């Protein structure tokens, strides 16, 4: 099995996990192809062109299709522009995570409030406009708003998470939404955020676990 085939298998697994976690059938997961050959993206739903095949295609960094099944997604600039801006990122997830959207509409960033969300290192940004990121300029603006964070909420739309691998980007998406659910539930019983000291302890404890 080639490296590309392994990556495509991982994309299929990740897209199934995201669909199961979020009940989302219109998101997608992408990865850089080896050697700078382009980008592979797996959509969560099947392609209209061939409903017996996974919607999985390769395209270049200008959004031109190289191979595979289905058309290039309209939101290809999410991938092309973030990959250009973030050489440390090898995989990206875009999904329509309900509770993350809820917090975004309220102007509340997903934050490290429990041990598993310490992976984010700080508050995750909110992209203020409910953009369908179909233009290069929109992708550039999203990448700029993301900065060096591992995830961002597109207000009124969904989330984008990134990682050094498909596994990491997928886990960041899962924990971003789970953290949003925890924050929302906690706010119903009076939670108003954690102190910098509390966040610092979370980050320090996570660092200790990572060093084991």
Count of CB atoms within 10 A of residue 197's CB? 8
pLDDT band for 212, please (50, 70, 90 cuts).
low
The pLDDT value given to residue 196: 84
Instruction: Name the H helices within the chain.
Output: 3-22, 76-85, 98-105, 136-146, 166-188, 196-210
- CA dihedral for 89, 95, 98, 104, sign (positive or negative): positive
Tokens found for residue 20: 């199961």
pLDDT per position as a tens digit, 59-89: 999 999 999 998 999 999 999 999 999 999 9
Count of CB atoms within 10 A of residue 73's CB? 21
Tokens found for residue 33: 């192809």
Determine the angle formed by the axes of helices 166-188 and 98-105, rounding to 10 degrees.
60
- How far is it, in rounded angstroms, from Cα 59 to Cα 32? 10
Length of the chain: 212
What's the CATH code, domain 3-210? Answer: 3.40.225.10
pLDDT per position as a tens digit, 83-125: 999 999 999 999 999 999 999 999 999 999 998 888 999 999 9
| DSSP annotation of 38 | -
- How far is it, in rounded angstroms, from Cα 69 to Cα 98? 28
pLDDT band for 193, please (50, 70, 90 cuts).
confident
Q: What's the pTM value of the predicted model, to 2 decimals?
A: 0.93
Check: CB of residue 39 under 8 Å from CB of residue 83: yes
The pLDDT value given to residue 192: 87
Tokens found for residue 176: 């971003």
């Amino acid at each position: 099995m080639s490296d590309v085939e392994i990556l495509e298998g991982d994309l299929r697994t990740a897209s199934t996990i995201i669909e199961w976690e979020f009940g989302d059938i219109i998101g997608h997961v992408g990865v850089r192809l080896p050697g700078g050959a382009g980008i592979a993206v797996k959509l969560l739903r099947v392609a209209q062109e061939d409903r017996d095949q996974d919607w999985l295609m390769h395209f270049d960094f200008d959004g031109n299709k190289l191979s595979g099944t289905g058309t290039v997604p309209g939101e290809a600039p999410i991938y092309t522009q973030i990959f250009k801006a973030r050489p440390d990122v090898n995989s990206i997830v875009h999904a329509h995570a309900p509770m993350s959207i809820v917090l975004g509409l309220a102007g509340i960033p997903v934050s490290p409030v429990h041990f598993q969300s310490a992976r984010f290192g700080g508050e995750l940004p909110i992209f203020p406009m409910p953009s369908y990121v179909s233009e290069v300029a929109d992708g550039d603006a999203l990448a700029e708003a993301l900065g060096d964070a591992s995830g961002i909420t597109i207000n009124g739309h969904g989330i984008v998470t990134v990682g050094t691998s498909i596994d990491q980007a997928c886990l960041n998406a899962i924990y971003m939404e789970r953290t949003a659910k925890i924050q929302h539930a906690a706010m119903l019983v009076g939670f108003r955020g954690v102190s910098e000291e509390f966040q610092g302890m979370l980050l320090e404890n996570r660092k200790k676990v990572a060093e084991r």
